Amino acid sequence: MRPDLTQPITMDTFLRGIWRENPVFVALLGMCPVLAVTNTATNSLAMGVSTLFVLVCSNMLISMLRHFIPKQVRIATYIVIIATFVTMVDYILQAVSPTVYAALGAFIQLIVVNCIILGRAESYASKNPVLSTAVNSVGMGLGFTLALLMLGSVRELFGMGSLFGVSIFGDSFQPWLVMILPPGGFFVLGAWLLLFAWWRERNVRKAVVEEAVHAR
């Protein structure tokens, strides 16, 4: 068995998933639901929370069993565990809110193949104790939810003139239909990535200038 590379739980364990290693904006993982269900903010939130639930539960279970699972069958075991929790979410969501379930459609079941969850299982949960896995997974899940919301709100705001179903711009607003259509998903995510790249570039340039000023 692999040794535990136990790291102390710090604020960073939690925060890195939200910002520095954000699964969507930095690692470009789990793109399918990111683009497919973010046509409204409500759908984005439901998808984010469902993924968060599966991510945290399955990774905690995997972390609990980490000394017990032989390396040779680990991927198969992980997938079975993840599929179990996804099936549970599928039924729970059907019972709690059929409207949201209808809107998300098959994408709830497709959480199984969301690379974020398997990636976390392989790179974190299989090596770390339960508590630190839980903290890290919650961070990652929140980062994912945040990214979905950032996409979903922009698309709903421009595509329908509303946010969480509440009209913002009033009736005179002519919606940009392309935003809630498939191409809008690509455009909005691309725009966010460009914005972040520009922001990073500016920070780097600022740091360089400051260094030059200090050097004088």
Partner 1 sequence: MQGESLTFVFLNAAIINNFVLAMFLGICPFLGVSGKLKTASSMGAATTLVMLISSVSAYGLNVLLSSFEIEFLRLISYIAVIASAVQLVEMTMKKFSPGLFRALGIYLPLITTNCAVLGVALFQTAKEYDFLQAVAYSLGAGAGFTLALVLMAGLREKLELSTVPRIAQGAGLSLMLAGLLSLSFMGFAGLGG
Partner 2 sequence: MNEQPIVFAEPRTPSSFALIRVLGLVALISGLLIVLVYQWTLPTITEQRRLALEQAVFQVIPGASRLASYVVNQDGVHAQNSGASGRALYAGYDADGNLIGIAAEGAAQGYADAVRLLYGYSPECQCVTGFRIVYSRETPGFGDKLETDPAFLANFEALDARLNAEGTALANAIVTVKHGTKTKPWQIDAISGATVSSKAAGKAIGDSAQVVIPAVHRHLKAEGQL
Beta-carbon count within 10 A of 186 CB: 11
Contact between 165 and partner 2 by CB under 8 A: the answer reads no
Contact between 198 and partner 1 by CB under 8 A: the answer reads yes
Contact between 71 and partner 2 by CB under 8 A: the answer reads yes
Minimal CA–CA distance to 39: which of 184, 189, 192, 190? 184
Pull the structure tokens for residue 126.
């299989």
Contact between 94 and partner 2 by CB under 8 A: the answer reads yes
**With CB cut-offs between 5 and 8 Å by kind, which of partner 2, partner 1, none does residue 29 bind?**
partner 1
With a CB cutoff of 8 Å and minimum separation 6, the contacts of 117 are: 51, 54, 55, 58, 59, 82, 111
**With CB cut-offs between 5 and 8 Å by kind, which of partner 2, partner 1, none does residue 183 bind?**
partner 1
Contact between 154 and partner 1 by CB under 8 A: the answer reads no
Minimal CA–CA distance to 23: which of 58, 50, 55? 55
Site residues, partner 1 (CB under 8 A):
28-29, 31-36, 75-76, 79-80, 83-84, 86-87, 90-91, 106, 109-110, 112-115, 118, 178, 181-187, 189-191, 193-194, 197-198, 201
